[in-house]
């Protein structure tokens, strides 16, 4: 998986809210940050609904899919671009082909598709959800 380096270890300046300055973050390609403990923690919280993150994710897609329902220019939804297993360091078996997809993505995406489907204005309204495996 490469080096596991905390976001704090990059020495980014912090903004008034204590978040890394975007200009500093952009010095590195974004995939570098995927191997950080913070990234693993956020993906883990999403898949397990820790801090109600999954509920908030569903609420977001509820609003988006409701707003875009019936729009002839929308062909489908891509819920997570380049999804990452929650913690392949803690559970290295998640990187086995299909395991992460079955154990973490499928349960999340199955619930999410119901939201898209419910917001579909008619059977002719495309309610396609794109799936990118881990």
Q: Is 21 a catalytic residue?
A: no
DSSP string across the chain: ------GGGG---B-TTSPBPHHHHTTS-GGGGGGSHHHHHHHHHHHHTGGGHHHHHHHHHHHHHHHHTT-TT---B-S-SS---S-TTT-GGGGSTTHHIIIIIHHHHHHHHHHHHHH-SSTTS---B-----
Instruction: Tell me which of 38, 82, 103, 132 is the catalytic residue.
Output: 82
Q: Which residues are catalytic?
A: 82
């Amino acid at each position: 998986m490469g080096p596991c380096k905390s976001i704090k270890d990059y020495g980014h300046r912090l903004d008034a809210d204590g978040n890394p300055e975007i200009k500093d973050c952009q010095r590195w390609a974004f995939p570098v940050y995927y191997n950080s403990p913070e990234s693993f923690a956020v993906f883990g919280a999403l898949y397990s609904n820790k801090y109600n993150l999954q509920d908030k994710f569903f609420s977001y897609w509820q609003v988006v899919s409701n707003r875009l329902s019936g729009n002839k220019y929308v062909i489908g939804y891509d819920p997570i671009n380049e999804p990452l297993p929650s913690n392949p360091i803690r559970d290295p078996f998640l990187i086995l082909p299909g395991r992460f997809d079955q154990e973490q993505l499928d349960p999340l995406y199955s619930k999410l598709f119901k939201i898209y489907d419910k917001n579909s204005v008619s059977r002719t309204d495309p309610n396609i959800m794109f799936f990118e495996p881990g």
